[in-house]
């Protein structure tokens, strides 16, 4: 029997709007199906890891969770080895990090999952170079998509993209058999669709009014002996009136990014004095101590692009043929859950599996794609939104989680701090290797609920303050 790969029919031309994580990943899978692939981006695209205006989020921490790391390594074989070789850190977070959960410190234990810490610029530059080296994809920098092109003889179908070359270049129309919008959070797809009289997806928003302030530091060559942790994660604790948490992620070139994360409109300060003072006012002083050990090498960057927003393309009765959207242009998450780059890679895989099963010209291709995409991202969406809805004052288009669901979520966080079995089974869900339904396997759910109830009772009847410093270094 011949495989789908061998029998596929090559389509002519695909145009991808946006050379971010999803656009580059999508272009890689399109190589299997299209004779020509063009990726356009409004930015100048540097050869190496360098900041660019189109991805302002790159100035903030970017963790690549296990599933995303595996998917990117599958799409670009050798990606992970190169990331580590260039200074990225692969860590088992609850073992290698100092983690303060709402109920207390994580006992250092292995989860069996590796999460990668590097600058977003490095991660993206490796993917971009590997795609370029493949030689099948044309990347057009400084080229901004301005709308969808519809051929006058075929008004019901997208036939390409109108684009403008920045810096006084020409206006272009790129004809295409499929246009993929991967232009991220700032995607103009809804207005482009509306201007053609096409159906526009409705949006669901969950916003806990969260914001980031980040500063980069040069780490010292040696750390004091008691500082065993390679990263830091301090959760907020609204019950104790702590609405700001913070993290320290190590990145390449012996640097750290320290980020304050505020919730419920407690936006962290973006001035130097306020940033440093707030580090000292968190539930543990260790982030302020780390900031004192390091040397600041950047200004303080702020972002409030933290809302969860899902465009329901999957609900369109008649999606416009010839056009699909993926990743952030469909669904953005509160970034503190670290899902975005993984969803970018998963979106590309969904495009690949849809192209394997449905011919592009078939009526319904776009509907099948959007349905598949929704199924692939809905766990990540549910995890992020159900957690964010619980912050006071959160705006939500979705029903709030039940008291039981909230108790279950709290019990997971509580038990995973000291129960190795719960940690080992829950971590693959957080890092997107397993579906959320596996949290409800009876034996695990019973262990979580019992542990949660016992922990809650202990906290109520024998309250003990959270120690300011993490537990000692793990044995191995
Ligand atoms: C503060 C913050 C922190 C984050 N932290 C994490 C994290 O820890 N882990 C994680 O996995 N994810 C994180 N994310 C999410 C992650 O950055 C995105 O989910 C991921 O980059 C999605 O990729 P994308 O390709 O859809 O969009 P992007 O990476 O944003 O790329 C969009 C691209 O489209 C281009 N573009 C836009 N409009 C046009 C146009 N009209 N024409 C041509 N080009 C255009 C832009 O220049 C850009 O290159 C974070 C996000 C934010 C905001």
192 CB under 6 A from ligand 1?
Answer: no
Ligand 1 atom 3, closest CA: 335
Choose one of 38, 44, 54 to mutate for the ligand 1 pocket test, by most ligand atoms within 8 angstroms of C-beta. 54
pLDDT tens across the length of the chain (476 residues)? 333 334 455 679 999 999 999 999 999 999 999 999 999 999 999 889 988 989 999 999 999 999 999 999 999 999 999 999 999 999 999 999 999 999 999 999 999 999 999 999 999 999 999 999 988 999 999 999 999 999 988 889 999 999 999 988 889 999 999 999 999 999 999 999 999 999 999 999 999 999 999 999 999 999 999 999 999 999 999 888 999 999 999 999 999 999 999 999 999 999 999 999 999 999 999 999 999 999 999 999 999 989 999 999 999 999 999 999 999 999 999 999 999 999 999 999 999 999 999 988 888 999 999 999 999 999 999 999 999 998 999 999 999 889 999 999 999 999 999 999 999 999 999 999 999 999 999 999 999 999 999 988 988 888 888 899 999 886 65
What's the CA-to-centroid distance between 328 and ligand 1, angstroms? Answer: 7
211 CB under 6 A from ligand 1?
Answer: no
Domains of the chain: 4-57+121-204+306-385 (3.50.50.60), 82-118+206-303 (3.30.70.2450), 403-461 (no CATH)
121 CB under 6 A from ligand 1?
Answer: no
Q: What are the b/e assignments for 430-442, b being 16+ CB within 10 Å?
A: bbbbbeeeebeee
For the whole prediction, is pTM greater than 0.75?
yes
41 CB under 6 A from ligand 1?
Answer: yes
Ligand 1 atom 38, closest CA: 183
Q: How far, in Å, CA of 291 to CA of 286, rounded?
A: 9
What's the CA-to-centroid distance between 451 and ligand 1, angstroms? Answer: 38
344 CB under 6 A from ligand 1?
Answer: yes
């Amino acid at each position: 029997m011949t495989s789908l790969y061998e029998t596929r029919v090559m389509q002519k031309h695909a145009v991808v709007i946006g050379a971010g994580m999803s656009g580059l990943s999508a272009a890689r899978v399109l190589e299997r199906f299209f004779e020509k692939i063009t990726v356009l981006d409004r930015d100048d695209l540097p050869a190496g890891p360098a900041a660019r205006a189109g991805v302002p989020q790159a100035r903030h921490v970017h963790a690549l969770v296990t599933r995303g790391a595996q998917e990117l390594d599958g799409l670009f074989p050798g990606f992970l080895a190169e990331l580590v070789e260039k200074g990225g850190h692969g860590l088992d977070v609850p073992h290698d990090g100092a983690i303060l959960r709402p109920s207390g410190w994580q006992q250092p234990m292995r989860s069996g999952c590796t999460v990668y810490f590097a600058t977003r610029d490095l991660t993206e530059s490796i993917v971009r170079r590997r795609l370029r080296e493949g030689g099948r994809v044309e990347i057009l920098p400084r080229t901004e998509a301005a709308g969808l092109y519809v051929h006058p003889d075929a008004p019901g179908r997208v036939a390409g993209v109108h684009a403008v070359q920045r810096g006084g270049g020409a206006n272009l129309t790129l004809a295409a058999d499929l246009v993929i919008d991967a232009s991220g959070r700032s995607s103009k797809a809804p207005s482009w669709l509306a201007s053609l009289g096409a159906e526009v997806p409705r949006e669901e928003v969950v916003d806990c009014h969260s914001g980031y302030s980040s500063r980069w530091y040069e780490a010292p060559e040696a750390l004091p002996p008691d500082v065993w942790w390679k990263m830091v994660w301090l959760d907020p604790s609204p019950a104790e009136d702590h609405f700001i948490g913070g993290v320290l992620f190590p990145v390449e070139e012996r640097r750290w990014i320290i980020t304050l994360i505020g919730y419920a409109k407690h936006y962290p300060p973006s001035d130097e004095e306020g940033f440093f003072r707030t580090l000292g006012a968190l539930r543990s002083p260790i982030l302020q101590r780390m900031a004192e050990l390091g040397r600041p090498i950047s200004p303080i960057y702020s972002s409030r692009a933290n809302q969860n927003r899902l465009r329901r393309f999957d609900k369109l009765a008649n999606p416009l043929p010839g056009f699909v959207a993926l990743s952030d242009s469909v669904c953005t998450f509160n970034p503190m859950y670290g899902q975005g780059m993984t969803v970018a890679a998963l979106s590309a895989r969904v495009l690949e599996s849809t192209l394997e099963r449905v011919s592009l010209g078939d009526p319904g291709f776009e509907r099948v794609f959007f349905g598949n995409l929704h199924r692939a991202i809905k766990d990540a969406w549910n995890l992020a939104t159900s957690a964010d809805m619980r912050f006071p004052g959160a705006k939500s288009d979705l029903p709030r989680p039940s008291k039981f669901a909230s108790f279950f979520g709290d019990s997971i966080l509580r038990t995973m701090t000291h129960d190795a079995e719960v940690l080992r089974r829950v971590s693959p869900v957080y890092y997107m290797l397993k579906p959320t339904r596996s949290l409800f396997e009876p034996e695990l759910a019973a262990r979580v609920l019992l542990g949660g109830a016992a922990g809650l009772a202990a906290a109520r009847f024998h309250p003990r303050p959270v120690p300011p410093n993490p537990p000692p270094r793990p044995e191995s």
